[in-house]
Amino acid sequence: MDLLVRNIIGEGGFGCVFEGRMPDGKAVAVKQLKAGSGQGEREFKAEVEIISRVHHRHLVSLVGYCISDSQRLLIYEFVPNKTLEHHLHAKDIPVLDWPKRLKIAIGSAKGLAYLHEDCHPTIIHRDIKSSNILLDDAFEAQVADFGLARLNDTAQTHVSTRVMGTFGYVIVSFDSSQPLGDESLVEWARPLLIHALETGEIGELVDTRLEKHYVESELFRMVETAAACVRHSAPKRPRMAQVVRALDSEGELSDLSNGVKFGQSTVYDSAQYSKDISKFRGMAIGSQGSSEFDTSSGDYSGRINHIP
C-alpha cells in the first residue's frame, strides 16, 4: 500500500511525526523512529503486533507500519486537534476551560488504566506527558506513544523507570548526578501538592488564566489524586483504575488520602511556598517553547503494511 508523507507535525524522543495521506485520501500520522535501536525486523514486528492489538477510545490506534533497511515507520490514525501541550502553552489561542481540562484528565487516566490493567500483555507507557496526549475535535483525550519504549530503547525520555510486578506500577527515578531541571517537575509537585492539601490552599495551584472559573470540589479531587500518584513509596501509589474513579467522582478519596489532614502543614514557611508556587506555575503551566508543531516540510513515499 502506497503512502505519501509530507509536513513534519511533531518531534520528540522517539523520532519525528509527519502528516500523511493514504491512497484513499485518509489522513494519518506517521512516526519515523530514530535509527540505532539495534532491533531486528522480527523483534520489531513482534512488538508492533502487540501494540496493534490495543484498541480503546482514549488510545491512539496503530493502523500500519513500514520497514525499509534500518528505517522504521509507524502509521497511526490522525487526531486533528493537536496536543494538550499545545492547548496549554501556545500563544493567541483561547484558554482551555476547566470542564475540558477535567475531561482530558479523566480520558487520559482511562487510557492508561486500560494499558496497565486490561490489555494483555500489560503496557507501561514510560513517557507520559502533555505532548503525548492528543485531542480530537470534542477535546476527548487520546494517549499516544505507548509501547514505543520497547521499540526503541535508545530514545531519550525524561525519566528512567523500573516496572514493578504486573500491576502497571513504575518506579520513577532521576539521575542523581544531574541537576534537577524542568524535567523533574514531579519532585517539585510532591511537596507543593501535599502542602496545598494540608492547608486547604489548593487554589494556589490553579492556572491563573482560569480566573477562578473552576469547580472547587473537582479541583480538590484532582489535587488529592495527583498527590497520591507522586508518593515517595511506589507501592502506596494508586492504580490507574483508582485514579479514574477518583477523578470521575465515582469513588471515595479515603483510599488515596493516606492520612493527609488540613491545617497541619510543616512543609513550608509562607515565603518559600510562594516562591516555589511561582516556579511550579512556570514549569507546569507557563508558556514554553516546543518543537511539537514545527511546520517545516519534507516528502517521503513508501509502502506500508496495513494492520487489519
Catalytic entry in 2, 24, 92, 127: 127
Hey, what long-range contacts does 287-291 have (CB within 8 A, 24 or more apart)? 287/89, 287/91, 288/89, 290/85, 290/86, 290/89, 290/131, 291/10, 291/11, 291/12
CA distance 8 to 89: 19
CA nearest 184: which of 266, 284, 268, 101? 284
Residues 277, 205 contacting (CB under 8 angstroms) = yes
In single-letter form, the type of residue at position 59 comes to L
212 among annotated binding-site residues: no
127 is catalytic: yes
CA distance 186 to 122: 24
CA distance 256 to 184: 23
Residue 242: count of CB within 10 angstroms of its CB: 19
Residues 72, 33 contacting (CB under 8 angstroms) = yes
Question: Which residues participate in the annotated binding site for ATP?
Answer: 31
Question: Which residues participate in the annotated binding site?
Answer: 31
Give the residue numbers annotated as catalytic, written as ranges.
127
